[in-house]
């Protein structure tokens, strides 16, 4: 469970992280992107391998991060629904639904 979020830091299952993460089925994966505020297909390789039914992207505190149309279409072709929300809302949705979350912790 995602327990706490503040700009630049998140607590998941009792452990603190200060970098962007992908969280799914109790596992945390570090998430780095080539361009911090733009998500490409290459940036979602972990999500593609996990094959979730839904992925909730936390687009940052202000919602600045963008997911490319190509990345969204790639996931949708694999049967994964894509949801984009500011990170605080994405966390609430991920905790409620237990779906995959790709979370940008700043901006």
45-89 per-position pLDDT tens digit:
999 999 999 999 999 999 999 999 999 999 999 999 999 999 999
Which domains does the chain possess?
Answer: 2-104 (3.40.1230.10)
CA 96, 98, 103: angle at the middle one, nearest 5?
Answer: 90
Q: Write the pLDDT tens digit of every residue in 35-47.
A: 989 999 999 999 9
What was the pLDDT predicted at 36?
85
Q: Mean of the pLDDT values across residues 13-18?
A: 97
State the Cα–Cα distance between residues 31 and 93, nearest whole angstrom. 19
Of the pLDDT bands very low, low, confident and very high (cuts 50, 70, 90), residue 1 is very high
Q: Which of 3, 37, 8 is nearest to 20 (CA)?
A: 8
Quote the DSSP letter at residue 60.
-
Give the phi and the psi of residue 25 in degrees, each rounded to 5: 50, 45
SS3 category, 30: strand
Of the pLDDT bands very low, low, confident and very high (cuts 50, 70, 90), residue 20 is very high
Report residue 87 as tokens. 């990170």
14: Cα within 13 Å, side-chain hemisphere? 0
């Amino acid at each position: 469970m995602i327990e706490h979020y503040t700009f630049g830091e998140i607590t998941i299952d009792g452990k603190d992280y200060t970098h962007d993460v992908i969280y799914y089925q109790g596992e945390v994966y570090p998430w780095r992107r080539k361009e911090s505020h733009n998500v490409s297909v290459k940036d979602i390789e972990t999500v593609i391998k996990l094959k979730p039914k839904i992925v909730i992207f936390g687009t940052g505190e202000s919602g600045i991060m963008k997911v490319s149309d190509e990345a969204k279409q790639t996931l949708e072709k694999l049967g994964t629904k894509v949801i984009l929300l500011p990170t605080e809302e994405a966390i609430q949705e991920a905790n409620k639904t237990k779906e995959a979350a790709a979370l940008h912790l700043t901006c």
